[in-house]
Amino acid sequence: MRAYALPPGCNSIDLMHRVDRPDPVAGPGQVVVRLRAASLNYRDQSVASGQYFGGVTQRELIPMSDAAGDVTAVGEGVTSVKVGDRVAPTFFQRSGPSPFAPTAALGSPLDGVLVEQIALYEDGVVPLPAGYSYEEGACLPCAAVTAWHVLMHAGRAIRPGDTVLVLGTGGVSIFALQFARAAGARVIVTSSSDDKIARATSMGASDGVNYRTTPEWDQEVLRITGGRGVDCVVEVGGITTMSKSFNALARGGKVGVVGVLGGFAGSANPMALAGKAGNLHGVFVGTREMFVEMNRAIDVSGIKPVVDRVFPFDQALQAFKAQAAGEFVGKVVITI
């Protein structure tokens, strides 16, 4: 079967290359999924550049964590999944047959989903929401579950009438916009592009702040909210934006830290958070149970992912470069 791999010591996406791997076989408790689409996350760029946790890859590694496809085979003892089911892998997979085996993430350290077929334990896949295409389903495992976790499970769940601040217009931020609006919350978005802000407001954001033309965007968020601040910040920038996120927060609000798009340099004074009785949550995707719960909400709300660009399998490198350039809203997808 066809796949893409990063070589040992990989420090550039330009080193990614096509490989052939044996077709997987479903062992006891496992299923084989014929993958049809995969979506990119910022994490995939970090893995390819050797800047992810743990440094450069120590072996040849198939990248990417988010995909969707069809179950083509089931192993002995499988009861919850059948051949023909349309599924998405969960971000975390257990490492052995025991239900209590340690879990690890697809795309690092486990081989990922930029491959035609993959064998997973049956609790490592989740049915796609009704009416979803493979390209849409491939957007869910990391970005959507992360947004759902921040809004609904980190601290107090978002309620109607709350205000949510999303930084940027990437996958997590756009899902957070969609989920927050479906929950009856107001959403403010930041971006370096007025065009992207316009797209976000067309999806339901009430206001947008261009952080290039308004560097003190936290003050603008306070102005927009009449000085109150926001109940939740979906913080994808990391330490470089955290101080402003603390300042934009309402008393008793929460900041969900999900990314480090701004890099690791900088500092943030936690006393700004303490003074508002605020809460800081580190969020690393989420559980299978969150994924299933989120999909039930999607079925009710009819939310569809924002797929900005779709690349064929033989243009996977171009897809990585397009995502790295940041010229997109929502998700970049590769068909398989």
Point out which residues pair with 32 in neighbouring strands: 73, 119
**pLDDT over 90, % of the chain:** 90
Q: How confident is the model at residue 246 (pLDDT cuts 50, 70, 90)?
A: very high
Q: How confident is the model at residue 33 (pLDDT cuts 50, 70, 90)?
A: very high
Integer-rounded Cα Rg, in Å, for the chain is 20
Cis amide prior to 270 (ω within 30 degrees):
no
> What local confidence, expressed as pLDDT, does residue 261 receive?
60
- Which tens digit of pLDDT belongs to each residue from 290-333? 999 999 999 999 999 999 999 999 999 999 999 999 889 999 99
Contact status, residue 81 vs residue 62, Cβ threshold 8 Å: no
Which of 191, 218, 217, 216 has the alpha carbon at shortest distance from 205? 191
Domains of the chain as residue ranges with CATH: 2-139+305-335 (3.90.180.10), 142-282 (3.40.50.720)
Q: Which of 98-102, 205-209, 212-216, 266-270 has the lowest mean pLDDT?
A: 266-270
> What local confidence, expressed as pLDDT, does residue 97 receive?
86
Query: How far apart are alpha carbons 178 and 203 in whole angstroms?
Result: 7
Contact status, residue 320 vs residue 155, Cβ threshold 8 Å: no
Query: How far apart are alpha carbons 99 and 186 in whole angstroms?
Result: 40
- Could you give the 3-state DSSP secondary structure of residue 279? strand
pTM for the model stands at: 0.94
Q: What is the DSSP letter of 115?
A: B
The better pLDDT of the pair 52, 87 is held by: 87
Determine the distance from the C-alpha atom of residue 39 to the mean position of all C-alpha atoms in its chain, rounded to a whole number: 9
- Which tens digit of pLDDT belongs to each residue from 14-32? 999 999 999 999 999 999 9
- Which tens digit of pLDDT belongs to each residue from 129-141? 999 999 999 999 9
DSSP per-residue letters across 76-121: TT--S--TT-EEEE-SEEESSSSTTS-EEEBTTTB--SSBSEEEEE
Q: How large is the average pLDDT for residues 67-80? A: 97
- Give phi and psi for 254, each to the nearest 5: -135, 150
- Could you give the 3-state DSSP secondary structure of residue 329? coil
Contact status, residue 78 vs residue 29, Cβ threshold 8 Å: yes
Q: What is the mean pLDDT of the chain?
A: 95
Tokens for 122, please give them: 């049956």
Tokens for 52, please give them: 């992810």
- Which tens digit of pLDDT belongs to each residue from 247-288? 999 999 999 999 766 555 666 788 888 889 999 999 999 999
Which of 161, 154, 158, 164 has the alpha carbon at shortest distance from 190? 164
> What local confidence, expressed as pLDDT, does residue 53 receive?
83
Q: Does an H or E element contain 66, and which?
A: strand 66-74
Residue corresponding to tokens 């969609």: 178
Q: How confident is the model at residue 11 (pLDDT cuts 50, 70, 90)?
A: very high
Q: How large is the average pLDDT for residues 161-190? A: 97
Determine the distance from the C-alpha atom of residue 325 to the mean position of all C-alpha atoms in its chain, rounded to a whole number: 17
Q: How large is the average pLDDT for residues 136-150? A: 98
- Give phi and psi for 243, each to the nearest 5: -60, -40
Alpha helices in the chain (DSSP H): 42-48, 134-137, 145-148, 171-182, 194-202, 217-224, 239-248, 271-274, 288-301, 316-325
- Which tens digit of pLDDT belongs to each residue from 103-124? 999 999 999 999 999 999 999 9
Q: Which of 87-91, 239-243, 316-320 has the lowest mean pLDDT?
A: 239-243
